[in-house]
């Protein structure tokens, strides 16, 4: 991007009529703030309990020293507390904002209100800050771009300039905005740093109260930035309060294994604190020397106003003491208002420690005025985004209520007796080229990666096939909608235009189903019938993206409604037959017929499958007559473009992809898939055959996009970091260790983990999002991969489709921040992604789901085989190595295509 800086005054020449507003999430006239706090009151008690676990009642108080807000420990004097703190969180179109949201929800005792930086006019903001007194403080999020450009920073500059008496904390871009608004220069850093960690030292000011300082103290922070505030340009109004200890950065695992981490949490450096207490205006390090030593300014504070900025990301999973930063900001806020008021208080409460808590009226008791009629959803919706009030499942059934009944049978230890999952599928569903069939295939079950396989074909009276195609023209802003074709079991077809899109349609369909939980209480799996198919990547326009630069060659979504299915439990070797039907229909004919066929299966693999399994075709990637969308030189050039965007702060990570294609004759697609699953088994593999659309999907994906189980727990398992397998055991172990401890691969993975935490944070209960496994190595037939696991508890008032929309497309295929990254990738990539980069899986009629990321996949469509591949580009990427990694990912599927074409 252009990095020239404009004068501050030009940034306040707002567009006529103020900012650009959303119309997607307009609310009723009873007012957003009132609705929001009424909804959140039920959570306050639990959140205060969680906040207590974080030791929020630290006995400190603020003191104004030489024009700055500094906290001095007062162990002998109890401090005053607010019952909860009301934060306005301004989202700069970032993909980490909801990590801040989750932290503040627990620490403040109340979830913040989230708006995008162009959702409110200045008049709206002033009304709620000064007339309604609806917020106690403001947090400005990170984001792409530069504070020098109004489109990147929105209303935040004016807020920092004019809201002198309200506590404000800026994170990353918000920190840079604080410097820029007071005249500091925002410049390129010596080196872009994304997803990497640095040790920091600080002044001991109130924002860093109780946090260690200096080398080997355990105070490490995660950095995501390409731009910095030039410390030489700091005006007298801004005080530097934190720097990196050196120019060096470290990888996460290198740091997390350090013994200093656990010991450092109770250590506070007295040296740096004493320097500040001697003179707030004297920083203990010379600015010129810091610059020469490569130290980077990490935090500033205003000398008079309660305004703070941190360059690093306290909300990152890898930042030590990140929540303490937000806790300290809460205490700064409490001290500010308890000293400067006014407060609307009902009563005071004194706890066992003598601390006084001010119990205040929630906002709904303070205001009779409505939220702006153009209002936004609480989850920070923009004109292009998806917010909570968009997500709430308030829709009505599209075709009336359907009362569904589930009937099922179980056959203990049967799978191996009838030849296993492959033989079952081939014999029961493989006739007539396996037309209109599906197989969600857990072909790799080692180490508990997967357990169940689901399969089926054209079914009973409820079966149907749905094909959806977006109506938007490539390269133009998306206006919504698309065409849905439905064919029922009798072959009758209809085509309708869905103005509100496919996700909305599925939401309404799922809301029309009623059922009894006891029907499936005895089943150990969560798919009991419903939708099986794929969402194509270009459906991103229904999830916040502005447009698609390229039109998909395949339909944007295809699904079966599967009313009959067979399930294999690979752990117990059990087999299940399931059938759903409307309650008025008591027929079990499919169950009876399927049982007979199952019992007739031979216990050995058929000869033709044995023959197929014995094939061993030599293969040389360089000689395959696939045609690449981009040459080697073109792909390397694209990597360089990505790195330039990252250098300019437009993105932290860009997941660049391309595709290879090959014309094919009349290929036996099922045999091709069986060979793929044999040579490259994967836990989230899949076969889909939409015969009338001439689409066969042969997928060997190792990556879960998102799962929702019957307990309401969401799980994502992003993969970032891939290396080849070794020829010998020693070489293989060496390659695995190189992947594990690669700073580049750890940075890639950490950035996507933080992104997935954000996506789950939009729809999960505050405080519930966590990471049980970080940067674990999983090994497959052809590659090692670095995998993390992110989980959270879904909010009860949200639907399955709401959760999918909040996270789609998978962050591991886009980069971060997601919206800006998708726009940049659209401009770089030369073809649509289509099914590749989307997701395949099921959505059960009772609103559980499990979806993969479509990678390592062959798509057969209209006489052509296509395979997509790519990789995450970060500042540390080597273009030639990125090209080699992309080629590595195409090897397994392309090899199989060559065997059968």
Residues with catalytic roles: 172, 313, 315
CA 668, CA 673: separation in Å to the nearest integer?
9
Of 168, 193, 441, 384, residue with least CA distance to 295: 193
CA 788, CA 206: separation in Å to the nearest integer?
34
CA 257, CA 769: separation in Å to the nearest integer?
23
Of 149, 100, 155, residue with least CA distance to 123: 155
Residues near 620 by beta carbon (within 8 Å), at least 6 away in sequence: none
Residues near 257 by beta carbon (within 8 Å), at least 6 away in sequence: none
The two three-digit tokens of residue 596, written as one number: 């007979």
Q: Number of helices (H) and strands (E) in the chain: give both, helices first.
A: 24, 39
Per residue in 326-348, is it b (16+ CB within 10 Å) or e — as a string? bbbbbbbbbbbbbeeeeeeeeee
* Distance from chain centroid for Cα 826: 19
Q: Specify the DSSP class assigned to residue 392.
A: B
Pairing of β 513-514 and β 80-82: unpaired
The two three-digit tokens of residue 541, written as one number: 């326009």
The two three-digit tokens of residue 325, written as one number: 């930063």
The two three-digit tokens of residue 253, written as one number: 């695992």
Compute how many other C-beta atoms are within 10 angstroms of the C-beta atom of residue 236.
Answer: 9
Pairing of β 113-116 and β 87-91: parallel
- How many residues in total does the chain contain? 901
CA 708, CA 216: separation in Å to the nearest integer?
41
3-state secondary structure 188-212: EEEEEEEEEEEEEEECCCHHHCCCC
The answer to whether 225 and 194 have CB atoms below 8 angstroms apart is yes
Torsion over CA: 28, 31, 33, 37 (sign): negative
Residue with tokens 């983990």: 753
CA 202, CA 276: separation in Å to the nearest integer?
10
DSSP character string of 491-535: --EEEEEETT-HHHHHHHHHHTEE--GGGSTT-SSS--SEEEEEE
Alpha carbon distances (Å) from 341 to 82, 336, 344, 417, 614: 12, 8, 9, 76, 80
CA 43, CA 391: separation in Å to the nearest integer?
19
Q: What are phi and psi of 207, to 5 degrees?
A: -65, -25
The answer to whether 404 and 845 have CB atoms below 8 angstroms apart is yes
The answer to whether 170 and 309 have CB atoms below 8 angstroms apart is yes
CA 463, CA 644: separation in Å to the nearest integer?
50
Compute how many other C-beta atoms are within 10 angstroms of the C-beta atom of residue 304.
Answer: 12
CA 848, CA 130: separation in Å to the nearest integer?
44
DSSP character string of 846-860: TS-EEEE---SEEEE
The answer to whether 585 and 461 have CB atoms below 8 angstroms apart is yes
Of 424, 410, 440, residue with least CA distance to 524: 410
Of 765, 667, 658, residue with least CA distance to 713: 765
């Amino acid at each position: 991007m252009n990095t020239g800086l404009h004068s501050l005054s030009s940034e306040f020449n707002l567009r006529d009529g103020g900012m650009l507003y959303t119309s997607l999430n307009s609310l009723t006239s009873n007012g957003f703030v009132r609705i929001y706090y009424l909804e959140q009151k039920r959570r306050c008690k639990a959140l205060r309990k969680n906040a207590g676990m974080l030791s929020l009642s630290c006995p400190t108080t603020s003191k104004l020293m030489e024009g700055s807000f500094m906290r001095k420990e007062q162990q002998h004097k109890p401090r005053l507390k607010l019952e909860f703190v009301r934060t306005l969180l301004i989202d700069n179109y970032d993909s980490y904002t909801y990590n801040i949201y989750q932290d503040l929800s627990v620490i403040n005792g109340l979830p913040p209100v989230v708006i995008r930086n162009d959702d409110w006019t200045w008049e709206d903001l002033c009304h709620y800050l000064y007339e309604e007194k609806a917020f106690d403080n403001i947090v400005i999020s990170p984001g792409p771009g530069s504070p020098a450009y109004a489109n990147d920073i929105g209303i935040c500059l004016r807020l920092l300039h004019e809201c002198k008496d309200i506590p404000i904390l800026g994170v990353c871009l918000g920190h840079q905005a604080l410097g820029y608004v007071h005249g500091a220069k925002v410049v390129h850093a010596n080196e872009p740093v994304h997803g990497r960690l640095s040790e920091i030292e600080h002044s001991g000011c109130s924002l860093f109260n109780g946090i260690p300082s200096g080398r080997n103290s355990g105070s490490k922070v995660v950095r995501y930035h390409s731009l910095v505030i030039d410390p030489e340009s700091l005006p007298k109004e801004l005080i530097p309060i934190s720097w990196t200890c050196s120019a060096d950065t470290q990888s996460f695992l290198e740091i997390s294994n350090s013994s200093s981490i656990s010991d450092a949490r109770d250590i506070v450096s007295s040296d740096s604190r004493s320097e500040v207490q001697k003179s707030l205006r004297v920083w203990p390090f010379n600015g010129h020397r810091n610059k020469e030593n490569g130290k980077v300014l990490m935090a500033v504070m205003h000398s008079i106003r309660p305004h703070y900025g941190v360059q690093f990301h306290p909300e990152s999973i890898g930042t030590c003491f990140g929540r303490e930063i937000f806790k300290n900001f809460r205490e700064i806020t409490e001290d500010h208002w308890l000293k400067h008021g006014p407060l609307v208080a009902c009563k005071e409460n004194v706890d066992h420690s003598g601390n006084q808590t001010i119990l205040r009226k929630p906002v709904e008791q303070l205001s009779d005025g409505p939220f702006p009629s153009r209002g936004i959803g609480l989850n920070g919706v923009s004109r292009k985004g998806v917010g909570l009030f968009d997500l709430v499942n308030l829709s009505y059934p599209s075709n009336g209520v359907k009362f569904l009944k589930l009937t099922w049978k179980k056959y203990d230890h049967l799978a191996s007796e009838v030849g296993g999952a492959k033989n079952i599928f081939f014999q029961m569903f493989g006739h007539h080229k396996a037309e209109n069939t599906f197989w969600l295939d857990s072909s790799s079950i080692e180490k508990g990666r997967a357990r169940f396989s689901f399969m089926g074909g054209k079914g009973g009276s409820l079966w149907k096939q749905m094909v959806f195609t977006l109506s938007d023209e490539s390269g133009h802003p998306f206006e919504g909608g698309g065409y849905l074709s439905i064919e029922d079991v009798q072959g009758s077809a209809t085509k309708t235009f869905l103005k509100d899109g496919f996700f909305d349609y599925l939401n309404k369909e799922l809301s029309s189903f009623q059922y009894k939980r006891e029907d499936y209480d005895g089943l150990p799996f969560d798919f009991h019938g419903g939708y099986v198919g794929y969402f194509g990547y270009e459906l991103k326009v229904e999830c916040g993206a502005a447009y698609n630069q390229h039109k998909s060659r395949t339909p944007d979504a295809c699904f079966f409604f599967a009313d009959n299915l067979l399930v294999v439990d690979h752990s117990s070797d059990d087999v299940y037959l399931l059938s759903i039907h409307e309650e008025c229909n008591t027929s079990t004919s499919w169950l009876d017929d399927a049982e007979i066929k199952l019992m007739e299966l031979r216990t050995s693999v058929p000869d033709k499958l044995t023959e197929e399994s014995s094939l061993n075709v030599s293969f040389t990637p360089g000689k395959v007559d696939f045609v690449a969308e981009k040459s080697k030189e073109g792909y390397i050039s694209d990597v360089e473009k990505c790195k330039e965007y990252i250098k300019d702060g437009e993105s932290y990570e860009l997941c660049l992809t391309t595709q290879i294609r090959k014309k094919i004759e009349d290929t036996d697609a099922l045999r091709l898939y069986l060979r793929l699953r044999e040579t490259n088994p994967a836990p989230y593999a899949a076969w889909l055959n939409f015969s009338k659309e001439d689409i066969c999907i042969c997928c060997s994906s190792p990556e879960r996009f998102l799962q929702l189980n019957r307990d309401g727990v969401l799980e994502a398992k992003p993969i970032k970091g891939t290396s080849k397998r070794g020829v010998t055991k020693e070489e293989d172990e060496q390659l695995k260790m190189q992947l594990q401890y690669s700073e580049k691969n750890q940075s890639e993975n950490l950035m996507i983990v933080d992104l997935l935490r954000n996506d789950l944070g939009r729809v999960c209960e505050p405080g519930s999002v966590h990471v049980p496994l970080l940067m674990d190595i999983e090994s497959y037939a052809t590659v090692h991969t670095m995998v993390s696991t992110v989980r959270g508890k879904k909010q009860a008032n949200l639907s399955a489709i709401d959760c999918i929309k909040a996270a789609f497309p998978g962050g591991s295929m886009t980069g971060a921040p997601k919206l800006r990254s998708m726009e940049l990738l659209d401009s770089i990539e030369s073809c649509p992604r289509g099914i590749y980069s989307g997701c395949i899986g099921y959505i059960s009629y009772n609103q559980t789901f499990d979806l993969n990321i479509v990678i390592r996949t062959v798509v057969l469509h209209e006489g052509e085989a296509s395979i997509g591949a790519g990789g995450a580009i970060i500042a540390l990427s080597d273009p030639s190595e990125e090209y080699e990694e992309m080629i590595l990912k195409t090897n397994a599927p392309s090899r199989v295509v060559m065997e059968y074409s």
